[in-house]
Amino acid sequence: MDTADTAMRHWIAGAATGDWTALVALLDPSVAFHVPVSGFSGVQHGVESAERFFAGLTARLRAALTVTARLTGDGRTAFEVAVAGMLSGHAFEQRLCLVFITADGKVREFREYLAFPSAAL
């Protein structure tokens, strides 16, 4: 299993349990990431910023993620994902795309693109 597949597996587990430890362990210390989440506008840098992002998810999110497609090219691996669960105490469903850039067994960059959830944030 390559690093992107492992990262996706850990993302699925983190969303289900709130424990993002395994995913964070895969992040390069200088990871760059972009997520469409309040408080994280623009490109973020560093594992500490990523830990803050995932800590926020731990407090608000429990969801089942199902990969519906895997796409690769230009050094990137993207996963189209269907999501259903609870966000801030409200049931929601959404679709998202997670893109990973990896090297040397680490996630160097990740980006999340999503449609708005069906329940209010």
105: left (phi over 0), alpha (psi -120 to 50) or beta: left
- Reported confidence tier of residue 120, pLDDT bands at 50, 70, 90: very low
The answer to whether 100 and 119 have CB atoms below 8 angstroms apart is: no
- Reported confidence tier of residue 2, pLDDT bands at 50, 70, 90: very high
Q: What is the pLDDT of residues 8-51, one digit of tens each?
A: 999 999 999 999 999 999 999 999 999 987 878 889 999 999 99
| Full-model pTM | 0.90
CA angle 6, 36, 7 (to 5 degrees): 5
User: For the chain, what are the domain ranges?
Assistant: 3-114
* Amino acid making up residue 121: L
User: Does CATH number 3.10.450.50 belong to domain 3-114?
Assistant: yes
